[in-house]
Structure 1
Amino acid sequence: MGIGGISIWQLLIILAIVIMLFGTKRLRNLGGDLGSAVKGFKKAIDDDSDKDKVENKTDQPAEKVIEGEAEKVNSEKQPPK
């Protein structure tokens, strides 16, 4: 017994029929297209997770941002000692 009650011989016969119907060139192109689609999907997922990480790092409370800007402005107004 093979996968789900299908023997290896039955799988080989199905594979031979598919190759005769579509041809090796079309199947090769289909495999390449499927591979590039999966690759693009993985890249989009990684880019999205990287974007979320960057957004989380830059999130600061507004008070801290305002305090930081106020300190920056005050240090610019004071003459050097």
Structure 2
Amino acid sequence: MGTFSFWHWLIVLLVILIIFGAGKLPRVAGDLASGIKNFRKGMKEDTDEKPANPPVIDQQQTPTGGAASTSAPADKAQSH
């Protein structure tokens, strides 16, 4: 029960030929190959397109006002 014999592989190949047909197998293989090529091309383009200058983050951020500015409107809403 360990490995498959020649007859097992022959039966598997026969079933595949029956399901897909002999004419469709080259087309399926070609579609698979073109899909792999497009995937590799896309991966290569992603690694090639690194930004030359990373975006600069502004270090001088203004404070938002904290709790004092947010509590005033909430107090007005609760009092009505």
Q: State the TM-score bracket (shorter-chain normalisation).
A: 0.5 to 0.7
> What's the offset of the Cα at 1:6?
1.5
Q: Helix, strand or coil for the counterpart of 2:23?
A: helix
* Structure 2: gaps spanning 5 or more residues: 57-80
The structure whose RCO (Cα within 8 Å, separation 6+) is larger is 2
Counterpart residue identity of residue 24, structure 1: A
Percent of paired sites with the same residue:
36
Q: Which structure would you say has the larger Rg?
A: 2
1:22-61 correspondence to structure 2 within 5 Å = 22-52=20-50, 55=51, 58-59=52-53
TM-score computed with the length of structure 2 as normaliser? 0.58
Matched pairs, number: 56
Q: CA deviation at 1:38?
A: 0.4
Secondary structure (helix, strand or coil) at the match of 1:6 reads coil
- Give the Cα–Cα distance (whole angstroms) in 1 for the partners of residues 48 and 35 of structure 2: 20
Distance in 2, matches of 1:48 and 1:29, equals: 29
Q: Which has the higher helix share?
A: 1
Q: In the TM superposition, what is the alpha-carbon distance from 1:48 to its structure 2 partner? A: 0.4
Q: TM-score, normalised by structure 1?
A: 0.57
**Superposed structure 1 runs of 4+ greater than 3 Å apart:** none
